[in-house]
Structure 1
C-alpha cells in the first residue's frame, strides 16, 4: 500500500511538472506568435462564410474552455451565441466580433464613467447600461472574429450562433464540440448553498465571477463562473495569482500571472504584452491602471537589507516594460516602522525567511486627483497619499488612531462621525464617486475582516475597537466580518458609516464589490464561499468552492463589455 501511494505521488508530481512546463511555454512571446501564425494559416486556407465557419479550441493556451470563431457575411451583422449541454443551464451572450466594435463599447463605458462620476471601476451592470447606448451600426461587421466562452468540459456542447444583419434578418448555425478536459481540479459547477431566484439571475446578467487566487501547491488558475455557478473559463497563470483585471484603451486586459509577471491579453486570448519585473521587485495583492495606461502596483523590494516586505509602490510602463519606484513607505513612515517588531512572512514568496511585514498593504485605488487610497492590513488603517506618481505626501488616514500613538501621523486622521467601531484588517477597499455628492465627497466600501491582530505589534490591545474579533480561525462561531461603506468628506475632514451588514467571518483575505444599486458581491475567502447580498444584507445567492489550500483571495464580477461581450 505504501509503495502504491509512493507511485501515485510520483505520477502526480510528474504530471504537475509537465503542466507547469506547458504553462511556462504559453507565457512566452515565441509561443504566442507561433500559435498566431498557425491559427492564421489554418483559418485562411479556405473561404470562411456562414457555411464554412472556422473554429479552434483555446488557440493561445490561455482559456481552456474557450472556442475561437471566424467567418464573414455579405451584410454587416451582429452575432450572439448560446452554449448548451445536457444537465447544465444554457449560457447566452452577444459577442464582440470586431476591434472596431470593441473600441466603441469601451469608449462608451469610459464616457459613462466620466459623465456620471459614479465609480472608478464600472460594475458589470454599469458596463451593460453604457454598452446599450452603442448603435447597432457600430457593433455590426462583415468579418466576425471572436471567442465563445463557456464550453462545458468533457461533454457534448451545442453552440448556436444567431447572426442578425442590419435589416433585421437572422441566420442560425449550429456547431457541436466536446468540451476539453480542464487542466485543474476545480468544480465544473459550484455548490449553491443559496440559489439565486429569477430576479437575481436577471440582475446578475451574463457577467462572470472571476475567482482570483484559489492558491494551489500545484498549478494556479483564474476561473470564470456564471450566475448559475457553472464554469465558463479556466485561465492558467504561472504561479501565485491574479489580483484583479484591468482594461486599457487599446483593448487589452491586464492581469498578474506571477509575482514577477504582468500580461496584456487581447479579446481573442492572445498575450500581446508580457512584462517581467526584473530582479528587484515582486508584486503583491493589488494594482491599478493610471490615466496613461500604465500599471501602479503594490510591491516588495527584494534588495532591501532589512527584509521589509509589502511596503513599496512601483510603476510599470506598459509600453516599454520599464519598472520604477514611486514610494517607499518605510521612508514615509520611518518612525512608525522602527517602532514595530521585526517579524512576519511574505506570502508572495513562501521560501522567504526573516521578513519584516510591518504595514502589509493589500489594496491600492488611484483617485481622480492623482492621489491614491491604500489599505494597510497590519495597522488596520486606510491611508491617502497625494501625488502618488510625483512627490508623494501623506494626506489623511482612517481607522483606530491609537494604533499610531506617539507618531506625528496621528494628527492626519479624519474625524469619525457617528457611533461605530473601526475596521480590523480590512481588504478590497473601493473608492466610489457619486455625481450627487459635493466635490471632495465620495464613498469608500470594503470587506471589513473585523479581525484585530498584528504580528509586528504583539502588545497592542485590538479590543479597543468596539465589536472586533481576535479569533484566528474562520470557524469561530462568535465572530463575523462585515460589508462596510463610508462617506468620506474631505472638506469637513470626516468619515461616516452609511451602510454595513454582517457576512461570514474571514480573519484574512476576502473582497467586496457593489454589483448594482442594490446587489453586493462578498467573498469570504477563508471559508471558500462568496455571496450576493442586497443592501439590507439579505443573502440572494451563495456559492461554495473547494479550497486548493487555504483560501480564495478575491472574487469580482466583470461584465467584459467591449472585450468578450457586446
Structure 2
C-alpha cells in the first residue's frame, strides 16, 4: 500500500479541515491504490456532525458494486492503515479526539474514538439521546478501553441510532467515577446499510418483572443476509453488523474477540473496534445452523460435505483449532446411525436423479462435558447424546418419538418418559444447565419446542404421530410452540418435563436463550417476533420485526468486557 505524504503536525490537520469546510469538494485521499489492485479508500470529513468525524469511502465504480467485500483481509488491512495514518497526523486529546464512523466496515453505526491521556486510570462514560414520538430515547454505557498503550484510550461508541440526529455526551472519569472533563456533540447518522428500520414495534405483557439489561441481537434475518441487528429494551436499533453473505447462526465470545460466521465456509474473529483479525476457512465443508465453544481454544461446528457427489447434508461435526486454524472432522453421523440412514429416502428432481438427503438435519449442538455433546435432530424430532467425541464416538441415548426408532438398532437407547406430557416436535436450540445439588448424569435441557411434525425422508412411515404436533408450515395464530425444559437423569434413564409455557407458533428455526437473571429471550422465527419472558413464563415485552420469511435466532447479552465496561 502506498501512502501520499502528510506531515504529522497539527497544521496539516487544520489545512485539511479548512479545505473541507471551504470547498466541500472531493474527499481527501491519503493513500492510493494498493499493489494488489484494490480500489482506493478515500478519507473524508463526515458532513453530518458538529464535531470532527471522519469516514472512509470507496470510490464509486462498477468494480466496487460487483466485487467489493469489506471483510476481505486486504480491505481490512487498508482500513487499519487508514486508521493508523489518521492517528499520526494530530495529537488527539479528550477535548479533541479522533472520531471515525464505521472504520472497518463491520459495525455500520459504530463510532471509533481515540485520544491520548497521561493517566491510565481513566474511563469514559457516554450518553446518547435521540428524539422519540412520545419521549426521548436514552442510551447510557461506559466504554471499554481497547488500547494496548497505557497513555491512550481507544474504543468504539455503540448505540448511535441510524437515520436520526444523535446527541452524544462524553464524560472523562477517574477510577472513582468522578468526572474530570466533558465533551458533547451531535451527529446525524446515515440510515442502516441494509435499509432495515431503526425501530421495532413492541407490546408489553402482564409480567411485572424488569427486563434484563443488555442488547437483543437478531441473527439470520431472511432477505437481509449478512446483517445482524442489535436492539435495546425499547426496540431501538443500537448496532448493525455487516458481514459478507451468511447469517451469524451464533456469536461466541473468545478472549477479546467475538467469533461469527462470514460465509458458509468461513468463520471470522472481530475485535471490539470492529476490525476482523482472524479468518478460519473450512475447505470441503459448508457449515449450518450452529457452532459452539468446545474444549480450550476450540470451536465445534455443524457442517455438511461441500461435495457435488454427496447428496447428504447437515450430518457432520467439525473441530476448529483457534490457534492453528486447523479443521478436523470429528463425527460423520452416518458412522453411528448408518443402519437408520439406510431406511431414509432422498429427494428427486424431474429427471429422477437423487438431489438431496437431509436424513437427520442436526440444527443445534450443546456441550455436556469435555468429550460429550447433545444434538438436536429436527428431521427425527429427537435429542441425541454423543459421547467419546474425540476418539470413537458413540450414541448414549435418544429422546424422541419411539415409533421413529422402532425396528432399528437404536430403539433400546430411548430414555423413558417420566410423567404424562406432549412430546416435543421439530425442536431447536438446546441449552444445558446444572445446579450444585444435582448428581452426576443429572441436568436440565431447555429448548424451543416448535411443536411441528415433518418427516420428509420417510414417506412410507406408518408410525404414530403425536396429535398435538402441528402440520402447518406457515404461521398460524391458532397454534402454539413452547419453551420446554427437561430434567435428564442418565442414571435412571429418564427425562421429565419440569417447565413449559406457550409462545407464538413457528414451524422451523427459532430459539430459547436462558438469561442470567432467570428470564428467557425467545424468538419465534416464522412469526417474526422475539420476546422476553420472566422465569415463570409470563410475557414482559415482545418485539415485532421485519423479514422476508423468518429470523433464525435472537439472543441477549450485555456485552460487558467487549464493547462496554
What's the TM-score once normalised by structure 1's chain length? Answer: 0.83
Residues 55-81 of structure 1: CA deviation (Å, up to 9, x unaligned): 101100001000011123343112221
Alpha carbons 2:147, 2:153 under 8 Å: kept = no
Classify 1:535/1:315 alpha carbon distance in 2 versus 1 (closer, same or farther; 3 Å): same
Residues 248-271 of structure 1: CA deviation (Å, up to 9, x unaligned): 13x111011121110000111100
Alpha carbons 2:257, 2:270 under 8 Å: kept = yes
In the alignment, what sits opposite 1:85? 130
Tell me if 1:204 matches 2:212. yes
Deviation at 1:425, TM superposition (A): 0.4
Classify 1:166/1:428 alpha carbon distance in 2 versus 1 (closer, same or farther; 3 Å): same
Tell me if 1:341 matches 2:345. yes
Alpha carbons 1:462, 1:468 under 8 Å: kept = no
In the alignment, what sits opposite 1:259? 264
Q: Distance in 1 between matches of 2:563 and 2:414?
A: 43
Classify 1:562/1:283 alpha carbon distance in 2 versus 1 (closer, same or farther; 3 Å): same
In the alignment, what sits opposite 2:468? 467
Alpha carbons 1:375, 1:383 under 8 Å: kept = yes
Deviation at 1:176, TM superposition (A): 2.2
Residues 220-239 of structure 1: CA deviation (Å, up to 9, x unaligned): 31111111101111111222
Alpha carbons 1:39, 1:59 under 8 Å: kept = yes
Question: 235-244 or 91-100: which moved more?
Answer: 91-100
Instruction: For residue 117 of structure 2, give the secondary structure of its aligned residue in structure 1.
Output: strand
In the alignment, what sits opposite 2:145? 97
Instruction: For residue 301 of structure 2, give the secondary structure of its aligned residue in structure 1.
Output: strand
Tell me if 1:238 matches 2:248. no
Instruction: For residue 342 of structure 2, give the secondary structure of its aligned residue in structure 1.
Output: helix
Q: For 1:110-129, what aligned pairs fall within 5 Å after superposition?
A: none
Residues 72-128 of structure 1: CA deviation (Å, up to 9, x unaligned): 334311222111122251111111113689xxxxxxxxxxxxxxxxxxxxxxxxxxx
Q: For 1:41-120, what aligned pairs fall within 5 Å after superposition?
A: 41-75=85-119, 76-87=121-132, 88-98=136-146
Instruction: For residue 47 of structure 1, give the secondary structure of its aligned residue in structure 2.
Output: coil
Q: How many positions carry a matched residue from both structures? A: 498
Alpha carbons 2:230, 2:238 under 8 Å: kept = yes
Q: Distance in 2 between matches of 1:199 and 1:377?
A: 33
Q: For 1:128-527, what aligned pairs fall within 5 Å after superposition?
A: 142-170=151-179, 171-194=181-204, 200=210, 203-205=211-213, 207-216=214-223, 219-249=225-255, 251-278=256-283, 280-303=284-307, 305-343=309-347, 354-460=355-461, 464-465=465-466, 467-475=468-476, 477-527=477-527
Classify 1:40/1:18 alpha carbon distance in 2 versus 1 (closer, same or farther; 3 Å): closer
Classify 1:329/1:54 alpha carbon distance in 2 versus 1 (closer, same or farther; 3 Å): same
By relative contact order (CA 8 Å, sep 6+), the higher-ranking structure is 1
Deviation at 1:426, TM superposition (A): 0.1
Alpha carbons 2:209, 2:540 under 8 Å: kept = no
Residues 350-376 of structure 1: CA deviation (Å, up to 9, x unaligned): xx9811000000001122232111100
Classify 1:517/1:219 alpha carbon distance in 2 versus 1 (closer, same or farther; 3 Å): closer
Alpha carbons 2:167, 2:186 under 8 Å: kept = yes
Q: For 1:541-556, what aligned pairs fall within 5 Å after superposition?
A: 541-547=541-547, 549-556=548-555
Q: Distance in 2 between matches of 1:491 and 1:197?
A: 37
Q: Distance in 1 between matches of 2:113 and 2:550?
A: 36
Root-mean-square deviation (CA, aligned residues, Å) is 2.4
Question: 431-440 or 499-508: which moved more?
Answer: 431-440
Q: Distance in 2 between matches of 1:149 and 1:461?
A: 54
Instruction: For residue 354 of structure 1, give the secondary structure of its aligned residue in structure 2.
Output: strand
> Which 5+ residue runs of structure 1 have no aligned equivalent?
1-13, 102-140, 346-351
Classify 1:16/1:244 alpha carbon distance in 2 versus 1 (closer, same or farther; 3 Å): farther
Instruction: For residue 339 of structure 1, give the secondary structure of its aligned residue in structure 2.
Output: coil
Question: 443-452 or 308-317: which moved more?
Answer: 308-317
Segments of 4+ moved more than 4 angstroms? 14-20, 195-199
Deviation at 1:318, TM superposition (A): 2.2
> Which 5+ residue runs of structure 2 have no aligned equivalent?
1-59
In the alignment, what sits opposite 2:36? none
